[in-house]
Amino acid sequence: MKKTARVAALVSIAALTLAGCGDRGETGATGNNTESASSTPSPTQSNPDFKACMVSDSGGFDDKSFNQTSHDGLEQAAQEFGIETAEIESQSDSEYADNINALVQQDCNIITTVGFLLGEATEAAAKKNPDVDFSIVDFAYEKAPENLKGLTFNTAEPSFLAGYLAAGMSESGVVGTFGGLPIPTVTIFMTGFAQGVDQYNTDNDADVQVIGWNPKTEEGSFTEDFEDKTKGQTIAENMIQQGADVIFPVAGPAGLGGLQAAQDNDAFGVWVDTDGCVSAAEYCDVLLTSVVKGMDVAVKDSIQASLEDTFSNEVYVGTLENEGVGIAPYHELEQEIPQELKDKVEELKQQIIDGEITVG
């Protein structure tokens, strides 16, 4: 691992941990079209007739990323509110509509779908089943039905901080990012990251380059799925061969290949959605930080609103200001990151919250 960093003046973090994600216990997802009713509420169960349900995207509930963190919110709701739960893990995009309908048939009171790609199927189900509440992670609608709530996150803000940090820690002057698919909930991370690097260059008269994403042309590197770790590793290795010494994968399980490449080649990594030192602890030694979003909290809150008959279709947006997004602690690399760089990151965070810097 690197022992020195090329840094002029710069940065801290408020060490914000929003979506810590760990082992899921024994109520994990089952196979396709099989809901696992985790009806094991606490002894103080008080709402046994209420059922909250969830459909994953094709990444699965053990993706160490956004599916897993969203599922944590379902489990937290079960423990806190004493409700019944059920879930279906999608194996392909073609199953979304059928999986949602299967849970409707199970008399779910609220169904949460996870991921941008479920947007169309979720809206159709909400319109067809007005007596069921629906929430969806990473999607919002211009005009949603009254029973459908979007749970969104301005991840460009913490990605900006991660980009500044990456630029400050790069010794080669090249950092890389890649995504799973070219969809807004992926590219928002990459754009914020690139803008953070630009800010570093401006502040320090530097010329750190970003490969893998150009916010102006919206062209970049993508694995074209969220499952294939080998694809992610290949892309990251190519970036490292081009000089990149920090890798920022935004690709779910496929992104783990990027962390593997970083670990194998004495580079740094930055994880997304969860604190990678918790969800992918085997790579903690190369992780500068993680861009996290509080999907578990948003999911639990939407379930609680449905339970308490206060559910609305008002879109939720997680920001640095409301602590719906943030960056994780520096963990094992705490001592390698210069204090002035940490201080600068913290300063930039406050400037974003205060509206002095606009990101995205």
CA atoms of 146 and 130, how far apart (whole Å):
8
Beta 219-220 vs 213-214: how paired, if at all? antiparallel
75 three-class SS: helix
Residue 14 has pLDDT above 80, yes or no: no
Classify 156-293+330-353 by CATH class: alpha beta
Distance of CA 139 to the CA centre of its chain: 13
Q: Over the stretch 256-285, which tens digit does the pLDDT of each residue have? A: 999 999 999 999 999 999 999 999 999 999
Other beta carbons within 10 angstroms of residue 264's beta carbon come to 13
Helix (H) or strand (E) segment spanning residue 268: strand 268-273
Other beta carbons within 10 angstroms of residue 331's beta carbon come to 18
**Domain extents in the chain:** 51-153+296-318, 156-293+330-353
Q: Where are the alpha helices (DSSP H) in 129-224?
A: 156-169, 184-204
CATH number of 51-153+296-318: 3.40.50.2300
Whether 51-153+296-318 and 156-293+330-353 share one fold: the answer is yes
Cβ(7)–Cβ(337) below 8 Å: no
So what's the pLDDT on residue 40?
A: 44
Split at pLDDT 50, 70, 90, the class of 66 is confident
CA atoms of 153 and 17, how far apart (whole Å):
15
Cα 189-64-277 angle, rounded to 5 deg? 85
Split at pLDDT 50, 70, 90, the class of 184 is very high
So what's the pLDDT on residue 308?
A: 96
